[in-house]
Structure 1
Amino acid sequence: MAVKKARVFPLSTTATLVLSALTVSQANAAGYQIAFDSVSGLGRAYAGEAAVSDSAASMGRNPAMMTLFDRPEFSGSMIYFDAEIDVTGNSAAQSSSDIIPSQFVPASYYVHPLNDQMAVGLGLYANYGLGTDLNNEFLAGDIGGDTELFTVNINPAVAYQVNPMLSLGAGISLVYASGEVNRHYGGGADNFGAQPSDKILSWDGDDWAFGWNVGALLELDESNRFGLSYRAGIDLKLEGTFTDFSPGVAIPGGGSTTAVSNVPLPTIAEFSGFHQLNDKLAIHYSALWTQWSEYKEFSASSSDCSINGGICFLKPEKYNDSWRWAIGAMYQLNPAIKLRAGFALDEKAGETTLSIPDQDAYWYSTGMNYQLDDNWSFDFGLAYMDRSDESFAETSLFTANHDYTAKGYLLIVGAQANYRF
């Protein structure tokens, strides 16, 4: 790539990233959290997740629920979401459609009762994720571009029934996380003898980290129970390659270096209730809290990024703790078919930006469980997520301050197979 002249970028020019999920885009609502951990939960908008225990997937939210199983069980799910999120500016060059890539999201779980009081289990799933991809020729390419997060959570757990009313559970998480960010010249291409889609900078990194989670289940009787779960935050230290494609961004003369970024996965706490009203109808609800105030910025650093005092890029973020509220119901239509429905509100956690278009999200979900025989059952789920319209402003080095609107929806479908040994 020919470069006519070098130019020093201030810190406000540089990129943004965030982190984690199972090849998953930022699609559920607040920040970069995701909620696509089971299809049985999808059909009820994930209401009652810490108390319902209708498949082995329940151990991922509250390990204490494993004491409710009297036989070993495996659950494997696949969820697909089609995202239609658009960012609209004051011109076609400042607009980009379908900025969240559609994805498949897998998950699997196994629960094994050891005796009447103790059970163990293993989950493979994700709690966080991000993926946005704006047009490579987007005019504000220095703050647009593409951002991706990827994490896998390997979560062994154990549960113990203290007495007929109280069960406790705990798990350890081994999390693999990787992230990638690319930013483009966009409207500044002419200043550098470049094309709008040419990269200004890129970064990718990964890390392994440990975390933990605990849960409690209170059974008032066979028809009424409450669940409480807590997942501790994890501080990830992503290490990878930062590349300055244009001398003056961070590295004198340009080039590549190893850069490190500290990224938090926030603490999560959930309270749920489940009530079997009669032989056919049950209701359930959840309140889920995420400590998003832990997330204040995304940055990467290296001694080779000497132009900005060791900072390769920096993007301040403004986030507050947020809540997710959900309510749902299940109806036993006949011995083989159970119907599900749910509604949820995911509150946005931070200020909307081009790289993280955070929005309030309203879930409308339906689903069913089909009991094939004593061993096999299958879950199917469908949800429509209506994302609120969010207006925001961002400042680009090349295009100054501009107003944008993010709006759209997601359609989510999934299937899950459950086998009892």
Structure 2
Amino acid sequence: MKNVKLAAAIAAALSAVAGTAHAAGFQLTEQSALALGRAYAGVGVDGTDISGVYYNPATMVLHKGTKVQGGGVLVGLNLDYADKKPGNDQNGRGSEQFVPHGFMTHQINDTTWVGLGITVPFGMATEYSKNWARKDHGTDAEIMVIDFNPNVAWKLTDRFSIGAGVSLQYADATLGIGADVPTLGDSIRGELEVDTWAWGWNIGAMWMPLDNLRFGVSYRSEVRHTAEGDLKVSGAGVTSGQTALQAMNGKYDGSVEMSAPAWAMATAAWDVNDMLSLYATFRWTDWSSFKQLNIESSGLDAQLGVIGNGLIQAGQTNMAQVLKKVAYGMSHITNDWRDTYMGSLGADLRVNDFWTLRGGVAYETSPIARAGTRTAIIPDANRWWFAVGSSFKWSKQFQTDVAFAHLHGVGERNLYAKDTGEKIGRFRRLDAYLIGVQAQYAF
């Protein structure tokens, strides 16, 4: 809804005072432009920026005094789709999306730190022609989750620290889907716009067995959103002239339950010498909790009941059954996703006191367990990350970071008919291009 633009502006503004994809499903890993440059290997325990507020709050103890950080990542998609039916090729990339982030940390004393993170941990934006042949797989979708996350960290010993926080999330979603009504030639379109607030929590720990070796583990809880808003229906009975079906068009109440899934992460950082540091990350995300997306509308259900009864009384029982099937298919999207895993390796090379180079590679699995459940709005596939980046330390207080990454989808990328399971097309490319920039300041 319109509130998302205001919320995004507030998030960006707060990020600036304190200092909106692309991963499996609609999870966004891009909470640090610096860490993007090494494919998020070693995030948090690296200690090179304060994004650990999000990734692992225990790592705030690596930062003395007060620090602020702000920036973002520009995400562009290439969802090049080739259909078996001539003239129906599409690209659902939509417009480029900017994913902002902002952090602040403050050391209270020798054992206690506090921090605040404002991030976009989940989001996506895809768009196809509203009348394309595969509109039953979705025409457009936009999801943005903004997370406000205060944290606290405690240094229990010189070698071990813990951290915890609470997340207050605002979620806004728009989903467009269409369906053709057999025998009538009508094309029905539904557009759902909803938003909601919900909360979750996060914890983390860090162990330093040696001065130059650090290990971290962290966990973020599932955040379950019950989003409410409007459901608009159009196109029913327009082509066929069926007056009974035209009564379906209009605006109704709409709601949907969607979750930001839980995830757990293990990270490592090894400062080999004054010039070289090596990093690693392994992450698990609980996408198996995303079984089905059900759009609920008591108003539309009541109207469909009236229309269906009228068709039956008019002797059009078959049409009533067809309408019921079409409506169910538009409002119940089966996902049956599975858990995903991401592993990354990266390195920093400190060329001199001013300039640091970095690079990294990662592999991430797709949540799609059965190819037949792939949708056009979240097509997804296994992917490789290839990333490079650089930091420039202008003074003891001020640093800027830039990065670029290419995500390349590999493996099974076909689209299948919902009713027959027949292959109807293939995504030739499922790629993303990411450019990140941020600034850090230490008081």
TM-score of the superposed pair, with normalisation by structure 2: 0.83
- 1:172 maps to a residue whose letter is V
8 Å Cα contact 2:381-2:430 kept in structure 1: no
Instruction: State the match for 1:254 in structure 2.
Output: 249
State how 1:89-104 maps to structure 2 within 5 Å.
89-104=83-98
- 2:103 maps to a residue whose letter is Y
SS of 1:305's partner is helix
SS of 2:90's partner is coil
- 1:240 Cα deviation after fit: 0.8
- 1:68 maps to a residue whose letter is L
Instruction: State the match for 1:244 in structure 2.
Output: 233
CA distance in 2, matches of 1:300, 1:100: 23
CA distance in 1, matches of 2:52, 2:226: 29
- 1:366 maps to a residue whose letter is V
Q: Which has the larger radius of gyration?
A: 2
Instruction: State the match for 1:378 in structure 2.
Output: 400
- 2:204 aligned with 1:215, yes or no? yes
- 2:357 aligned with 1:339, yes or no? yes
- 1:386 Cα deviation after fit: 1.3
- 1:419 Cα deviation after fit: 0.4
- 2:204 maps to a residue whose letter is G
CA distance in 1, matches of 2:98, 2:178: 27
Q: 1:46 to 1:264 in 2, by over 3 A?
A: same
- 1:129 Cα deviation after fit: 1.2
8 Å Cα contact 1:40-1:55 kept in structure 2: yes
2:347 to 310, 326, 329: 329
8 Å Cα contact 1:85-1:100 kept in structure 2: no
CA distance in 1, matches of 2:293, 2:99: 25
1:121 to 106, 110, 115: 115
- 1:94 Cα deviation after fit: 2.7
- 2:60 maps to a residue whose letter is M
Q: 1:164 to 1:86 in 2, by over 3 A?
A: same
Q: 1:250 to 1:315 in 2, by over 3 A?
A: farther
- 2:192 maps to a residue whose letter is W
Instruction: State the match for 1:264 in structure 2.
Output: 259
8 Å Cα contact 1:251-1:304 kept in structure 2: no
Q: 1:408 to 1:400 in 2, by over 3 A?
A: closer
1:235 to 205, 224, 234: 224
- 1:205 Cα deviation after fit: 0.3
Instruction: State the match for 1:404 in structure 2.
Output: 425
- 2:87 maps to a residue whose letter is A
CA distance in 2, matches of 1:92, 1:188: 21
8 Å Cα contact 1:362-1:385 kept in structure 2: yes
- 1:179 maps to a residue whose letter is A
**What do residues 227-286 of structure 1 show as CA deviations (whole Å, max 9, x unaligned)?**
001000011101011122245899963322212211111110000001111111110101
Matched residue pairs, number? 393
Q: 1:387 to 1:187 in 2, by over 3 A?
A: farther
- 2:126 aligned with 1:132, yes or no? yes
Percent of residue pairs bearing the same amino acid type: 26
1:65 to 59, 65, 70: 59
SS of 2:87's partner is helix
Instruction: State the match for 1:315 in structure 2.
Output: 333
Instruction: State the match for 2:102 in structure 1.
Output: 108
- 1:412 Cα deviation after fit: 1.2
- 1:185 Cα deviation after fit: 5.6
TM-score of the superposed pair, with normalisation by structure 1: 0.87
SS of 2:283's partner is strand
State how 1:61-210 maps to structure 2 within 5 Å.
61-184=55-178, 191-192=185-186, 200-210=189-199
**What do residues 124-149 of structure 1 show as CA deviations (whole Å, max 9, x unaligned)?**
10211122111223112232310110
- 1:241 maps to a residue whose letter is D
- 2:435 aligned with 1:413, yes or no? yes
**What do residues 19-46 of structure 1 show as CA deviations (whole Å, max 9, x unaligned)?**
xx969xx942311111111111111100
- 1:211 Cα deviation after fit: 0.6
**What do residues 67-106 of structure 1 show as CA deviations (whole Å, max 9, x unaligned)?**
1111211111121122222111113433202534321111
Q: 1:290 to 1:266 in 2, by over 3 A?
A: same
> Which deviates more from structure 2 when the two are superposed, residues 129-138 or residues 260-269?
129-138
- 1:186 Cα deviation after fit: 7.1
1:349 to 347, 363, 367: 367
- 1:363 Cα deviation after fit: 0.8
- 1:297 Cα deviation after fit: 0.7
Q: 1:250 to 1:281 in 2, by over 3 A?
A: farther
SS of 1:67's partner is helix
8 Å Cα contact 2:44-2:50 kept in structure 1: no
Instruction: State the match for 2:386 in structure 1.
Output: 364
CA distance in 2, matches of 1:70, 1:99: 42
- 2:121 maps to a residue whose letter is N
| Structure showing greater relative contact order (alpha-carbon pairs closer than 8 Å, 6 or more residues apart) | 1
- 1:303 Cα deviation after fit: 2.2
8 Å Cα contact 2:138-2:375 kept in structure 1: no
SS of 1:101's partner is coil
CA distance in 1, matches of 2:183, 2:157: 68
CA distance in 1, matches of 2:337, 2:356: 39
8 Å Cα contact 1:22-1:151 kept in structure 2: no
Q: Which has the higher helix share?
A: 2
> Which deviates more from structure 2 when the two are superposed, residues 88-97 or residues 171-180?
88-97
RMSD (CA atoms): 2.6
SS of 1:94's partner is coil
Unaligned runs of 5+ in 2: 1-6, 10-19, 238-243, 305-323
Q: 1:58 to 1:148 in 2, by over 3 A?
A: same
Q: 1:396 to 1:189 in 2, by over 3 A?
A: farther
**What do residues 132-181 of structure 1 show as CA deviations (whole Å, max 9, x unaligned)?**
11122311223231011011000010000011111010011000001011
SS of 1:357's partner is coil
Q: 1:288 to 1:201 in 2, by over 3 A?
A: same
